[in-house]
């Protein structure tokens, strides 16, 4: 039996399905509902770690895509998903149709609806019921006109009852805002019953929420990650029903109903830019600051009454972010420098003939994310802003990364930037900083911070913070919080390992190259405060993660090697000494937890991963890599 096909006569069946306006709907029900509404737009389907997108045009299926497939094949696969969450994005359409069959035909072919037999026609009322009920309804064959009439009246009454129930749930302010095109997304909770949701919805409707926590700052964090963390944090506290409601541009209220206390608590999120996190904390307008950059010295000084904003108790890294630069597969480029990328997207380079390695000739077609996108914010801060350039006015802007990637894949002269999960079907290029090696964008190279277009995302917690704020920070950095970060496209702070490419002869001593051949590198790279041997705040947080990883049963007998590095400023002999001191700093920190390194070596200023001409590049080069075999 197909996974979305349910037996409505089974009283013991779990309430599974996809949650949108009404909890527990099957995906086929949602699709038929949108088709009947002549929906124009996009449905984003999330199931476990998988994401799919289904486009409608005036209620007709237009296109479907997953990471592996597209078109009809993708839709057939998605119909087999059991449950999850659905985000509705109106007016986001696909430029051409890739699915020729009707929704009804596909549902019949996949077993989610039953075909009507031609020799026994079904009444229109029955057909309406079959398309609106949760699960297939076997058509009733009618022998006599009086029975047909009675059944039609009964069926019509049932249709009105179903439609009325749907309208009650779908239009609740707790789950959607009828006056806004912004989408509302809620995770599936298979254990929730309709009665529980109804009761909680009544509580949310009738009670004024009490704001228990205020977050302010970065749009990169505040657009999806912040609301996602707030939603699950309220659930962890015991909320039986949680709503995510837009208040204004870049402002969201996440509310939770607590039936035991008979109250509604809420978390307020205002995402107007990283600088507002620090001004908001200073003015006591928020409890936690969200920032996609580290606090500046001037801001740190102004916030001194609230604590040292570069101390590990105040500064917390919540996730890693990375942006991929993509081109068409016909483009022969494999690498671009940061300078070339800035020139291409600003319009300084107008024709591909100016980049001979591309093998192309013709005007550069720029595909970019919209101004409000966190992806654009990252790209702007890492590429355009340092070179004092702006995105070309002729760039085509998109809200949807997958659509952008698809269009670049269809345009031989195209170039774009997107989040890592959306690289396919276009082609990512390696990015090279001056004086370093080209590095391709992968979750691993973003996690290690080797990739040039990677950055940290921060939460700042004043030392005067409330217990609720401290609990929120703890939740955000646990496995539960990190799964949310991964689900919205960021790189979570977890330890994993990967075989790395060997360093070229002359770049590193033979001992390092031997290790690279035999061992695997861990995704945690230790970095240091500027110019010294003191671990930075992320490194301090990562220590416990690595200790937990090495204490797992399968890793307890494995050996680790530590290699320290320095930038190339100053005396070369001094740089060699400090690179060794950094390796020994990590060695001693791990030894305090009972983890003993097999070797610790300093490799001076060799194998730079970033430019030594910038402060950010030098900070990346001051590092300790961890290898395991």
pLDDT digits (tens, 9 = 90+) for 22-36: 345 688 878 887 887
Instruction: Indicate whether 203 pLDDT > 60.
Output: no
pLDDT band at 70 (very low <50, low <70, confident <90, very high): confident
Q: Which two tokens stand for residue 342?
A: 């800035």
**Sequence-separated (6 or more) residues with CB below 8 Å from residue 483:** 492
E strands in 314-429: 315-327, 335-337, 365-369, 396-398, 414-419, 427-428
Please say whether the beta carbons of 626 and 526 come within 8 A.
Answer: yes
pLDDT of residue 118: 47
Average pLDDT, integer, range 396-422: 93
Does the structure show a pLDDT above 70 at 150?
no
The CA distances from residue 157 to 50, 142, 166, in Å, are 39, 18, 14
Express each pLDDT in 100-120 by its tens digit: 888 988 998 998 887 654 444
Query: Does the predicted TM-score (pTM) go above 0.85?
Result: no
Query: Is the pLDDT assigned to residue 231 strictly greater than 60?
Result: yes
pLDDT of 331 higher than 60:
yes
Residue 506 has pLDDT above 70, yes or no: no
Q: Is 3.90.320 the CATH classification of the domain at 194-314?
A: no
Radius of gyration of the chain (CA): 27
Q: How much helix, strand and coil, in percent to the nearest 5, is found in the chain?
A: 35, 20, 40
The percentage of the chain sitting over the pLDDT mark of 70, rounded to a whole number, equals 79
Residue 176: pLDDT band (50, 70, 90) is very low
pLDDT at 505 over 80: no
Under a CB-based contact definition with an 8 Å cutoff, are residues 453 and 430 in contact? no
**What was the pLDDT predicted at 419?**
87
Average pLDDT over residues 316-328: 96
Say if domain 320-447 classifies as CATH 3.40.190.10: yes
Please report the beta strands in 526-610, taking only residues with DSSP state E, as ranges in sequence order.
526-527, 560-564, 599-602
Q: Coil, strand or helix: which one is 235?
A: helix
Q: CA 562: distance to chain centroid?
A: 31
Gap between the Cα atoms of 402 and 387, Å rounded: 28
40, with CB counted inside 10 A (0-12, 13-18, 19+), is: middle
Mean pLDDT of 449-476: 95
Identify the pLDDT of residue 87: 80
Q: Determine the 3-state secondary structure of 628 from DSSP.
A: strand
Q: Per CATH, is 495-628 categorized as 3.10.20.30?
A: no
Question: Distance (Å, rounded) from C-alpha 50 to C-alpha 382?
Answer: 29
- Within 13 Å of residue 48, how many CA atoms lie on the same side as its CB? 4
What pLDDT is attached to residue 160?
A: 56
Per-residue confidence (pLDDT) for residue 410, from 0 to 100 = 97
């Amino acid at each position: 039996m197909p996974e979305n096909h349910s037996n409505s006569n089974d009283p013991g069946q779990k309430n599974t399905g996809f949650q949108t306006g009404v909890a527990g709907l099957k995906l086929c029900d949602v699709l038929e509902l949108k088709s009947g509404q002549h929906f124009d737009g996009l449905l984003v389907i999330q199931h476990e770690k998988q994401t799919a997108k289904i486009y409608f045009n005036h209620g007709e299926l237009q296109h479907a895509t997953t990471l592996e497939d597209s078109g009809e094949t993708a839709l057939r696969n998605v119909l087999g998903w059991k449950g999850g969450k659905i985000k509705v994005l109106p007016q986001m359409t696909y430029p051409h149709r890739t699915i020729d069959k009707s929704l009804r035909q596909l549902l019949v072919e996949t077993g989610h609806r039953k075909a009507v037999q031609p020799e026994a026609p079904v009444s229109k009322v029955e057909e309406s019921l079959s398309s609106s009920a949760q699960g297939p309804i076997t058509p009733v064959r009618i022998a006599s006109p009086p029975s047909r009439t009675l059944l039609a009246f009964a069926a019509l009454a049932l249709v009105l009852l179903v439609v009325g129930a749907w309208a009650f749930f779908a239009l609740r302010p707790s789950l959607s805002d009828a006056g806004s095109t912004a989408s509302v997304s809620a995770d599936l909770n298979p254990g929730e019953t309709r009665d529980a949701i109804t009761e909680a919805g009544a509580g949310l409707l009738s009670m004024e929420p009490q704001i228990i926590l205020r977050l302010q700052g970065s749009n990169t964090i505040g657009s999806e990650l912040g609301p996602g963390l707030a939603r699950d944090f309220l659930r962890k506290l015991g909320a039986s029903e949680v709503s995510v409601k837009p208040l204004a541009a870049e402002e969201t209220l996440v509310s939770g109903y607590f039936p035991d206390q008979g109250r509604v608590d809420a978390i307020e999120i205002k995402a107007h830019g990283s600088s507002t996190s620090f001004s908001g904390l200073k003015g006591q307008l928020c409890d936690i600051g969200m920032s996609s950059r580290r606090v500046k010295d001037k801001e740190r000084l102004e916030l001194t009454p609230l604590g040292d904003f570069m101390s590990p108790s105040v500064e917390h890294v919540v996730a890693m972010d990375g942006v991929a630069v993509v081109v068409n597969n016909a483009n022969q480029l494999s690498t671009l420098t940061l300078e070339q990328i800035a020139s291409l997207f600003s319009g300084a380079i107008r024709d591909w003939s100016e980049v001979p390695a591309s093998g192309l000739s013709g005007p550069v077609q720029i595909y970019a994310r919209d101004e409000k996108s966190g992806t654009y914010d990252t790209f702007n801060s890492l590429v355009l802003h340092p070179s004092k350039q702006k995105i070309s006015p002729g760039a085509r802007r998109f809200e949807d990364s997958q659509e952008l990637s698809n269009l670049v894949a269809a345009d031989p002269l195209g170039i774009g930037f997107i989040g890592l999960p959306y690289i396919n079907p276009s082609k990512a290029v390696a990015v090279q900083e001056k004086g370093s090696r080209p590095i391709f964008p992968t979750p691993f190279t973003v996690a290690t911070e080797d990739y040039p277009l990677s950055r940290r995302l921060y939460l700042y917690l004043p030392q005067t913070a409330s217990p609720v704020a401290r609990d929120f920070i703890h939740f955000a950095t646990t496995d539960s919080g990190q799964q949310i970060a991964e689900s919205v496209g960021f790189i979570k702070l977890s330890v994993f390992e990967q075989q790395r490419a060997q360093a070229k002869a002359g770049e590193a001593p033979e001992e390092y190259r031997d290790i690279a051949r035999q061992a695997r590198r861990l995704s945690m790279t230790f970095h240091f405060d500027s110019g010294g041997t003191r671990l930075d705040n992320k490194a301090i947080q990562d220590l416990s993660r690595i200790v937990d990883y090495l204490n797992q049963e399968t890793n307890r007998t494995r050996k680790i090697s530590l290699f320290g590095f320095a930038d190339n400023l100053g005396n070369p002999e001094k740089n060699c000494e400090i690179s060794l001191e950094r390796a020994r700093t990590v060695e001693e920190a791990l030894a305090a937890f009972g983890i003993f390194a097999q070797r610790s070596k300093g490799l001076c200023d060799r194998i730079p991963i970033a430019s030594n001409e910038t402060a950010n590049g030098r900070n990346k080069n001051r590092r300790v890599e961890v290898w395991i075999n």
